[in-house]
Amino acid sequence: MNPRWLALIALTALGGCKYWYTVTVPASDSAKPVTFTTLYYDGDHQVVGNSSAGGFHFVMSDADQPFFIVGSGIDSGGTSRVKLTHWLHHSCKVGGGSGGPSYSHTVYQSGSIGSTVENGLYTTAYMRFSNLINPCDYPGAWESTKVFITAEAEDFHGNTSGVVSTVTHFW
């Protein structure tokens, strides 16, 4: 599936989320936001982890399957920041494993006490395992690649929460 089409599907699904609406930033707030990691593939909302129930651990069997990872946060007093970080770890049959690059995406929403803001924010990253280069010493030695996904959300009073999830492909 075309990555742009997949992006449109994912963003349309997120934008239509019934939990996101405008709120007024309260004078005080001690509750942490709820943070989500979400995996979209095949053009459908598939797997969700959150800071209340824990992250997900998903095995992607098709290396050619494109997917999106989404980090989002929701807070009844407004979400000021969401940071999505993902990094790779490769395992080789011989020679151990190696870490891959780390990527971060952060979105911010401005506001202060009394401001009208959105209660939720999100950011996304696109991936496909078949786009990766074999990190092992010889062909056939590549055993698996695991994507560690961390999302953190912050509200306008500095309360934060986070969740970690993984997506793994076995070569």
Interval 91-145: pLDDT, tens: 998 876 778 778 999 999 999 999 999 999 999 999 999 999 888 888 889 999 9
Asked whether 13 and 72 are in contact (CB, 8 A), the reply is no
Query: Residue 59: inside a domain, yes or no?
Result: yes
Query: Residue 73: inside a domain, yes or no?
Result: yes
The pLDDT, as a whole number, for residue 140 is 86
Q: Per-residue pLDDT tens for 9-35?
A: 444 444 445 668 999 999 999 999 999
Asked whether 13 and 46 are in contact (CB, 8 A), the reply is no
What residue numbers bound the domain in which 63 lies?
3-16+34-170
The pLDDT, as a whole number, for residue 38 is 96
Query: Residue 21: inside a domain, yes or no?
Result: no
Distance of CA 97 to the CA centre of its chain: 23
Q: How confident is the model at residue 157 (pLDDT cuts 50, 70, 90)?
A: very high
Query: Residue 43: inside a domain, yes or no?
Result: yes
Question: Which secondary-structure segment (H or E) carries 15?
Answer: helix 3-15
Query: Residue 56: inside a domain, yes or no?
Result: yes
32-36, 44-48, 53-57, 59-63: least confidently modelled range: 44-48
Q: Give the number of domains in the chain.
A: 1
Give the integer Cα–Cα distance in Å for 146 and 51.
20
Query: Residue 62: inside a domain, yes or no?
Result: yes
Query: Residue 25: inside a domain, yes or no?
Result: no
Distance of CA 65 to the CA centre of its chain: 17
Query: Residue 48: inside a domain, yes or no?
Result: yes
Q: Residue 53 pLDDT > 80, yes or no?
A: yes
Q: What is the pTM of this model?
A: 0.85
